[in-house]
Amino acid sequence: MTTRAMGATAAAAPAVSPYAGGVWSWITTVDHKRIAILYGVSAFVFFLLGGIEALIIRTQLAVPNNDLVTAQTYNELFTMHGTTMIFLAIMPLNAMYFNYLVPLMIGARDVAFPRLNAFSYWVFLAGALVLNWSWIAGAAPDTGWFGYANLTSPQYSPGKSVDYWLVGLQILGVSSLASAFNFIVTIVNLRAPGMRLMRMPPFVWMTLITNVLVALAFPVVTVALILLTFDRYFGTHFYIPQGGGDPVLWQHLFWVFGHPEVYILILPAFGIISEVLPTFARKPLFGYPFVILSGIGIAVLGFGVWAHHMFAVGMGPLADAIFAVTTMAIAIPTGVKIFNWLATLWGGSIAMRTPLLYGVAFIAMFTMGGLSGVHHASPPADLQQTDTYYIVAHFHYVLFGGALFALLGGFHYWFPKMTGKMLDEKLGKVVFWLALIGFNLTFFPMHMIGLLGMPRRIYTYHEELGLGGLNMASTIGAFVLMLAFLVFIWTLMKSLRSGDRAPVNPWDAPTLEWSIPSPPPAYNFAVVPTVQSRYPLWEERSQTGVTAGDGHGIHLPNPSFWPAFAAVGLLAMGAGGVSHSVPVFLTGVGIMLAGFFAWAFEPAS
């Protein structure tokens, strides 16, 4: 075929919104699309909370010797900012996309285990509540998101702040693991006929890889946290040198989890970009197998680079050399992806719509973050960079300029599908430029701030460091970012209220989710499609796509109250954990087991 139909065939959206229903319908929902929206809304709320924490941090650092907040409050703020943005914002935002898109992209009616999916969300919320309850209890975690031993030991952190952190993370780990198994099984088993592995959309591939990483990495941090729990609750000495333990053990365990965690955060962004670029360049992803294989390569190598977080720890020259080489090696598959994305744009027919703006900015910013990553892959150079603002600049270029920009681009891309409304294009571009300028103004100066000698995690700095001006610039940037997100919220509300009706396929995109109404009916596909290529809507429009049928007789799983009920049990276990109350903990265990029992024997329909 030489030409492709532009625009979209009008398909009637369902008469009643698929999202209609009261609070109870949301609590008991097992629909992957509604669960996605629950994830998205919660994550956005926590993102704003983490953003407010960041703004206070930046205001404190705007000038030398500032005393807006106390040292203690500052330490709580940066600990909770990091923990919140990683575990309560970017991971659940990724989960929103997994949930909404994976079944639609593979032509399935839901995930493999819909009730387990609901359970994952409610457990996530329970973990997030435990973590943030610490603010209300006046015992916010204050030892950094990385919680280095032996500062977390009872001797040096006698209060409950570390308990909130470790219990919160432990609960979040349950959610991540349950969700990971669900998506692995879904992607392996529920693909539409003809969708071979190498025909899967790249986003589905990256989802699969990410969730394999979660399944392999989270058990490690679970173990690390259990050992810490033993040290804090039962007087063991796994990480306490006076008792024969070793604080470096924590660092190894934490980063064996923590480095794959970086890829857990960024690989979904790679997937989103690999969907957005082809659509707006009207050209297939350049070198699809290379992009997929480099994703797998990153995941595999990602387990062999953890100690590059520890070059200052004194592991000895041999270990430093080995981890330097593995870390540099991981830059190769990452570089491959960047070149493949460039080649996807090259020779295309590029429409500069908002999703693509974010896609282009992602490539530009992520390249920057990737290259500064190579600077600290070299241990001697890293000895001047680690634990300074240079690192803060680096990972914000990866996680904000990278992951978050991709998530925002994906949001503009899939918003019409999720809501049936187009997102305001003009305002979307205003937000984009504000975010791009604000982001660079905030984080570019941090490269210099770090190399000029400012360590991380300090609540104050001397005027003599000469870094007042650069810090002020960075703080101004943070407020530009705040403005960007205020306009974003306004855009969101305006578009939800009065946005244009979204057609089935507003972008002439090639993947299956664009073949069904916007928003999709509860059953997704009236007739399960048959797939014959990577770009079914471009290459075989006649065979698939909008298919007749009204969804009568399609079996859908019943709503269930028990996943949320079981999650309440975990919340109670967490409450018992932080309050050191055995009865409360055991009550939680009882509630959780009762929930599982009722769930297991619930009638199927």
Partner 1 sequence: MAHGTYARPGRVRFLSGVVLPALTILLSGCAGEYVQNAMDPHSDFAHTINDLFWTIIWWSIVIFILVEVLLIYAIFRFRRRPGQPLPAQVHGNTRIEIAWTLAPALILASVAVPTVQTIFDTQAPPAEENLQVRAIGHQWWWEFRYPQLDIVTANDLWLPRGRKVDIALESADVIHSFWAPKLGGKRDLVPGHVNHISLTPQVADLFWGQCAEFCGASHANMGFRVVVAEPAEFDRWVQDFKAPKPPDTTDPLAAKGAQAFITSACIGCHRIAGTPAAGVIGPDLTYFARRHTIAAGMMPNTPENLARWLRNPPAVKPGSKMPNLNLNDETVQALVAYLGSLK
Nearest to 129 by CA among 580, 584, 571: 571
Nearer to partner 1, 150 or 491 (CB): 150
| 542 forms part of the interface with partner 1 (CB under 8 A) | no
Residues 481-500 that bind partner 1 (CB under 8 A): none
Sign of CA dihedral 135, 137, 142, 148: negative
What is the C-alpha to C-alpha distance for residues 472 and 15, in angstroms, rounded to an integer? 53
- 154 versus 551: smaller Cβ distance to partner 1: 154
Q: Which of 226, 384, 493, 549 binds partner 1 (CB under 8 A)?
A: 384
Contact 224, 255 (CB under 8 A): no
> Using CA atoms, how far apart are residues 333 and 270, in angstroms rounded to an integer?
12
Q: Which is nearer to partner 1, 310 or 578 (CB)?
A: 310
Q: Are 547 and 529 in contact (CB under 8 A)?
A: yes
Interface of this chain with partner 1, residues 113 to 142, rule: CB under 8 A: none
Asked if the bond preceding 150 is cis, omega within 30° of 0, the reply is yes
Q: Would you count residue 196 as binding partner 1 (CB under 8 A)?
A: no
For residue 480, the surrounding DSSP H or E stretch is helix 468-498
Least distance between partner 1 and beta carbon 2 (Å): 6
**581 catalytic residue (yes or no):** no
- Among residues 259, 417, 421, 534, which one is catalytic? 259
Is residue 515 part of the annotated active site? The answer reads: no
Mask for 57-96, x = binds partner 1 (CB under 8 A): -------------xxx--x---------------------
CB 111 within 8 A of CB 102: yes
Beta-strand ranges (E) seen in 362-456 are: none
Neighbours of 135 (CB within 10 A): 15
Q: Which of 176, 186, 210, 515 is catalytic?
A: 176
**Nearest approach, Cβ of residue 407 and partner 1 (Å):** 20
Q: Enter the tokens of residue 428.
A: 């979307």
Active-site residue identified among 134, 274, 491, 560: 274
- Is residue 42 flagged as an active site residue? no
Q: DSSP letter for 325, please.
A: H
- Find residue 388's DSSP bridge partners: 455
Q: Of the candidates 352, 489, 527, 586, which one interacts with partner 1 according to CB under 8 A?
A: 352
Annotation marks residue 552 as catalytic: no
Examine residue 45 and tell whether it contacts partner 1 (CB under 8 A).
no
444 binds partner 1 (CB under 8 A): yes
Q: Which residues of 525-554 are buried (b: 16+ CB within 10 A; e: fewer)?
A: bbebbebebbbbbbbbbeebbbeeeeeeeb
Four-residue CA torsion sign, 347, 352, 358, 364: positive
Indicate whether 425 belongs to the interface with partner 1 (CB under 8 A).
Answer: no
Verify binding: residue 350, partner 1, rule CB under 8 A: yes
Q: Which stretch binds partner 1 (CB under 8 A): 39-47, 195-203, 340-348, 577-585?
A: 340-348
Selected catalytic residue, list 337, 353, 376, 417: 337
- What is residue 123's three-state secondary structure? helix
CB of 159 to partner 1, least distance (A): 12
What string marks each residue from 239 to 278 as x (binds partner 1 by CB under 8 A) or -? --xx---xxx------------------------------
CA distance 598 to 565: 10
Q: Which of residues 289-308 bind partner 1 (CB under 8 A)?
A: 289-290
Torsion sign across C-alpha atoms 249, 252, 258, 260 = negative
Which one, 153 or 518, has the nearer CB to partner 1?
153
Q: Based on the residue annotation, tell me whether 176 is a catalytic residue of this protein.
A: yes
Instruction: Convert residues 314-333 into a mask of x (bound to partner 1 by CB under 8 A) and - (unbound).
Output: x-xx--xx--xx--xx-xx-
Q: Minimal distance in Å, beta carbon 440 to partner 1?
A: 10
Residue nearer to partner 1 on the CB measure, 241 or 590: 241
Torsion of CA 234, 251, 183, 538, to 10 degrees: 160
State the DSSP H helix or E strand holding residue 353, giving kind and residue range, or none if neither: none
Interface positions, 2-31, toward partner 1 (CB under 8 A):
2-4
Residue of 31, 76, 110, 382 marked catalytic: 110
Provide the minimum distance between the beta carbon of 89 and partner 1 in the complex, in angstroms, as a whole number.
Answer: 22
Q: Is the dihedral of CA 352, 356, 362, 367 positive or negative?
A: negative
Question: What is the identity of the amino acid at 395?
Answer: F
Q: Is 530 a catalytic residue?
A: no
Residue of 53, 142, 163, 261 with catalytic role: 261
Q: Are 238 and 245 in contact (CB under 8 A)?
A: yes
Residues annotated catalytic, as ranges: 81, 110, 145, 175-176, 259, 261, 263, 274, 308-309, 334, 337, 456
